[in-house]
Structure 1
Amino acid sequence: MTEDQLYNKLKDEFEKIIINNNIQADLVLIKSRSLSPEEAIGITERKDFPILTGKEVMLQAEYQGFYGQAFTDAPSIFSGTLSQILELDLMNDNHSRGLFISTMNAVMRKLDLADHTIHCKNDGPELCGKQFVPYMKDHYNNPKIALIGYQPSILENLAAVFDLRVLDLNPDNVGQLRYCIKVEHGINDYDEVINWADIILCTGSTICNGTIVNFLNLNKDVLFFGTSIAGAATILELKRVCFESE
C-alpha cells in the first residue's frame, strides 16, 4: 500500500462514517490545538520521551465532548466542520494529516468505533512499559522484537528480558546507546532489522508521517501502540495495544 492509497482509504472510510451517521452537514466545531508536554503526558519520572524533548507535539481534537489525539512534528490549530476536515490535503500537508487523524480519533471515540484515544499521563507511561513484558510472554513466548520508534519505557523494560533492536529517525538517537541498546537508522537499517525480528512493535505515530506503509502487509505480526493509531487501527484492522491510555 502506498501513502496515497493509505490516506485515500482513511479519508473514504471516515467519510462513510460521517455520512452513515448523518453528521456530514453538522455545524459542529472541531478544535485542534498543540498540547504542552505537561498537558499531554503529565509529570513523568524519565525525561527522554520525544514529546518532552521537543521532537514531537500532540494535537488534540474535541468533538462533542470526546477527544482524539495525534503525535506530529507539524503543530496546527484548526476550528471548523467535519466537512472541512474531509477537504484537507493529506498527501502534501503534514499539518493537515495531524488535524485529520486527531479529528478522526475524536469522532470515532464519540461513535464508539475506537477507544483509548487519550495518552496516559504521570506514572502511566512507566506502568505501560512494564505491562509489555508479560504481554509479549503470554502472546509470543520469547520473540525477537523490533521496536519502531524511540519509546524509553517500552524499550528499557523489553530490552531487559527479550532480544530487541530499535529503529528511529531522530538523529539525536540514531547511533546512540539507549538502555544498553544501540538505536539504528529507521531507513538505512530497516531491511536488516525487520528480517531479523519475529515481531514488530511499532509506534502508532507512523500514521501521521506516512511511514506506517513500511509496516503494513509484512509476513510477520505487527503490533501498534499509542493513541494516534486508534481510529486507523479500526479502519485498517490492525493489531493495537495501549495499556494505560484513556
Structure 2
Amino acid sequence: MDTYEKLRQTLIKTMESENWAEEKVQVKVRTLTPEEAIGDPEHRDYPLIKGRERMMAAEFRGCQGQAFTDRFGEFQGSLQEVANMELSNNFRRAVFLASLNAVLRAHGKVEKTIHCKDEAPPNCAAQLAEMVAERFGNPKVALVGLQPRMAQALATRFELRITDMDQDNIGQKRFGVVVESEKETASVLDWCDLALVTGTTFSNASVTSMLNGKPVIFYGVTVAGPAAALGLDRFCPLAS
C-alpha cells in the first residue's frame, strides 16, 4: 500500500468510526491570503508572501486543517468526495491533505493544524536549532524546502545544504549557503546526517524520495495528519 493509499484509508476509517461518510457539503476548502496564513511578519521573504505558493484551508465541523501548495483554488463537497478523490495533481492533493488535517483534528487525533503568524516563525526556527543540537549533536543537516528563518537559524550552528523547487531561489546564496535544485535532493540526502523536510512534499508527491533510511523530521502544518497516520517525526511547535 503506497503512502497516499494509507492516508486515504486513515480518512475512510475515521469517517466510518464517526458515521461521517454520509455528511454532505461539510468540507469547504479555500485559499488563504498571505495575511490570513502568516499574518504580518517583519521579514518579507517567506514563500507565502512572495506569492508563488499559498496555504489552503479546509473547514470541517468547526475545525480547520491547512496545506501548503503551488496549485491552489477552492473546493466544496462531501467528505466522501474527498475520500474518493483521485490525487492526480498538487491541487487535489492539497484539498485532500487540508481536509485530512481538519477531519483528524475534529476526531481528536491531531493538533497544531493552523500556521503560526507574525513573529512566531523566527521563534520556531530558534527552537528547531536547539532541538537539533539536543537530539543529534552536531549533524550535517539537509533542509529540503527553503524556509528562510529555519535556514538562517540552522546555518549559524550546523553544516547545512538546502534544496528548493523555486527557480528564483536556486543558485542564490541564502545565509551563506547556496540553494540547490530539487534535482540534487537525493545526493544531499545521502550526504546529510539529518534531513529537515517541508510537509509540502506531501502536496507535490515528492515525499517518498525523502525516506531513505536517514533520520527525517518533517516540519509544518501540511504534514500534521500524515505524520500522525504514518508515524513520522514532525516539528511544528508554534502552530495553533
Question: Who is 1:205 aligned against?
Answer: 200
Task: Indicate conservation of the 8 Å contact 2:25/2:76, yes or no.
Answer: no
Any stretches of 5+ residues in structure 1 without a counterpart? none
Q: Are positions 1:238 and 2:232 aligned together?
A: yes
Q: Are positions 1:113 and 2:109 aligned together?
A: yes
Task: Indicate conservation of the 8 Å contact 2:28/2:77, yes or no.
Answer: yes
Question: Who is 2:23 aligned against?
Answer: 26
Quote the Cα distance in structure 1 between the aligned partners of 2:89 and 2:163.
25
Question: Who is 1:150 aligned against?
Answer: 146
Q: Give the secondary structure class of the aligned counterpart of 1:51.
A: helix
CA shift in 2, pair 1:125/1:17, >3 Å = same
Q: Are positions 1:171 and 2:167 aligned together?
A: yes
- What is the RMSD computed on CA atoms of the aligned residues? 1.2
Task: Indicate conservation of the 8 Å contact 2:89/2:204, yes or no.
Answer: no
Q: CA deviation at 1:28?
A: 5.1
Q: Where do residues 103-142 of structure 1 align in structure 2 (5 Å cutoff)?
A: 103-142=99-138
Q: Give the secondary structure class of the aligned counterpart of 1:114.
A: coil
* Runs of 4+ more than 2 Å apart: none
Quote the Cα distance in structure 1 between the aligned partners of 2:143 and 2:90.
24
Question: Who is 2:186 aligned against?
Answer: 191
**Identity percentage of aligned residues:** 38
Quote the Cα distance in structure 2 between the aligned partners of 1:162 and 1:131.
14
Any stretches of 5+ residues in structure 2 without a counterpart? none
Superposed CA offset, 1:199-219 (max 9, x none): 000001111010111112x22
Quote the Cα distance in structure 2 between the aligned partners of 1:147 and 1:222.
10
Q: CA deviation at 1:42?
A: 0.4
Question: Who is 2:6 aligned against?
Answer: 9
Q: Give the secondary structure class of the aligned counterpart of 1:158.
A: helix
Q: Give the secondary structure class of the aligned counterpart of 2:104.
A: helix
Task: Indicate conservation of the 8 Å contact 2:144/2:185, yes or no.
Answer: no
Quote the Cα distance in structure 1 between the aligned partners of 2:9 and 2:229.
10
Q: Are positions 1:45 and 2:42 aligned together?
A: yes
Q: Are positions 1:223 and 2:220 aligned together?
A: no
Q: Give the secondary structure class of the aligned counterpart of 2:100.
A: helix
**Greater Cα offset, 76-85 or 153-162:** 76-85
TM-score (norm 1): 0.95
Quote the Cα distance in structure 1 between the aligned partners of 2:25 and 2:61.
8
Which of 51, 54, 68 aligns to 1:71? It is: 68
Quote the Cα distance in structure 2 between the aligned partners of 1:114 and 1:48.
29
TM-score (norm 2): 0.97
Q: Which amino acid aligns with 2:15?
A: I
Q: CA deviation at 1:94?
A: 2.4
Question: Who is 1:96 aligned against?
Answer: 92
Quote the Cα distance in structure 2 between the aligned partners of 1:241 and 1:194.
18
Quote the Cα distance in structure 1 between the aligned partners of 2:98 and 2:43.
26
Task: Indicate conservation of the 8 Å contact 2:64/2:113, yes or no.
Answer: yes
Task: Indicate conservation of the 8 Å contact 1:28/1:63, yes or no.
Answer: no
Q: Give the secondary structure class of the aligned counterpart of 2:28.
A: strand
Quote the Cα distance in structure 1 between the aligned partners of 2:28 and 2:187.
42
Task: Indicate conservation of the 8 Å contact 2:186/2:209, yes or no.
Answer: no
Quote the Cα distance in structure 2 between the aligned partners of 1:10 and 1:235.
7
